[in-house]
Every structure is written in structure tokens, then in C-alpha cells.
Chains A and B, each alone.
Chain A
């Protein structure tokens, strides 16, 4: 069974802290890994990672994939209250064209 596991499930930090969110996967036929941010409504796309070791960056957010150890991390530096959200990790399964999600990490940034 294809599985995506995120940790921690919940995280509370102070504004200005740096956080690292984890996503590990165990799937039949890996194609790519995606990160999404979900506030009150629909998840919005952050990154797609297909190759190992290549960091993707957008402002204070960055992410990297390790295909040997089957995990990815999402880093957020100098956190702000607007970063409070649920962060979702998903894996695209090659062939089956399926998209499998983890449970999400609920991140709360306190002022």
C-alpha cells in the first residue's frame, strides 16, 4: 500500500523561529513529491520535487528531496504569523497517476 507520513503532526513556535517539517514515503513507483499549504480553504501549491538533492526555494521557504532515504523536508526561516497553516505533502505515483497525501502538519506561529 502506498504510504506518505508527515511529522510532526502539530508544531507551535514563536515568530522568527525556523521550522523543519518532514515527509517520508513508501510507494510502489515514485514520480514526484509535492508540498502544499492549506489555510482555511483549498490547498495551494508550494513545490514539486522530482530529483534528489536539488533544493527548491521560494522566499523564506525551501525544500529538498532525498530519493535514497525516501523523504523530503520543508524549511521555513524567520517564520511569521501568516505562515500558520496546515502543510501537506503528497506523492505522485508513476503509472497509476495517483496522488497520495500525508496527514499534514499543523503549524502555529505565535507572535
Chain B
């Protein structure tokens, strides 16, 4: 079974903190994605990566950065957390042109 693992299920951080969300997949997938999910807005793409060290902005990259130093790991970084970044964050991975598999999600609260 494909496994996509996100490092934390729940996080509470203070405004202005630097926040790291980690995602690891074990199926040698080329593509990895970070989404945030908010009520009524669906999944919005923050960043994605199609290869090691490669990254592309999604629809809402402002306030975020990413890192992909190894194929299996894709990190999302909130440089200076703000309350409007309180959300559910979902990581996904897939082979080119195939269905994506999701991690369990990280519910981040910024206070």
C-alpha cells in the first residue's frame, strides 16, 4: 500500500513563528503536492514538485515556501506564521499522470 505520512496531525503555533510541515512518501513517486483545505473553498494548491529540487508555485503560494532535497520528502515552510494560515494542510504524491495519494493531514492553528 502507498503510504504518505505527515509529521504531525495537530499543531498550534504562535504568530510570527517559522513552521515546518513534513511529508514523506514511500512509493518513489515523482510528483508531490501541498494543499490547504478550508470550508467552502475545497483544496487549494500551494506548491508542487515534479522532481528533486524542483518546485512550482500553485494558486496560493504567498507566505509559504517548500523544499525537496530528497525524492521521498517534501516540506512546507511557513516563514512567519499568521492567523490566516490556520487551516488543514494536506500533502499528496503521485506518479506522472496517475491518481494522487494523500497523507492524513495536519490541522494547524496559529494563535
Interface pair A42/B105, CB less than 8 Å apart = yes
Given contacts A41-B105, A42-B90, A42-B105, contact A99 B40 (CB under 8 A): no
CA A90 to CA B98, docked complex, whole Å: 12
Q: Contact at B56–A98, with CB atoms within 8 Å?
A: yes
Confirm or deny: B74 has a beta carbon within 8 angstroms of a beta carbon on chain A.
no
Measured in the bound complex, the distance between the Cα atoms of B105 and A58 in whole Å is 26
Q: How many whole Å from A82's CB to the nearest CB in chain B?
A: 20
Partner of A45, one of B31, B40, B96, B99: B99
Partner of B48, one of A6, A98, A102: A98
Tell which of A6, A42, A100 touches B102, judged by Cβ atoms closer than 8 Å: A42
Check A99 against B92 for contact (C-beta < 8 Å).
yes
Contacts of A90 in B (CB 8 A): 43, 100
Give the number of residues in A that approach B within 8 Å (Cβ atoms).
24
Chain A proximity mask over B18-60: 1 for CB below 8 Å, otherwise 0: 0000000000001101010000111111001010000010100
CA distance A31 to B98 in the complex (A): 10
The residues of A that contact B40 with a CB separation of less than 8 Å are 9, 103
28 A-B contact pairs sorted by A residue (CB < 8 Å): A9-B40, A34-B99, A41-B104, A41-B105, A42-B4, A42-B102, A43-B43, A44-B102, A45-B100, A45-B101, A48-B98, A48-B99, A90-B43, A90-B100, A96-B56, A97-B30, A97-B31, A97-B50, A97-B96, A97-B97, A98-B48, A98-B56, A99-B33, A99-B48, A99-B94, A99-B100, A103-B40, A103-B42
Q: Which residues of A contact B (CB under 8 A)?
A: 6, 9, 31-32, 34, 41-45, 48, 88, 90, 92, 94, 96-104
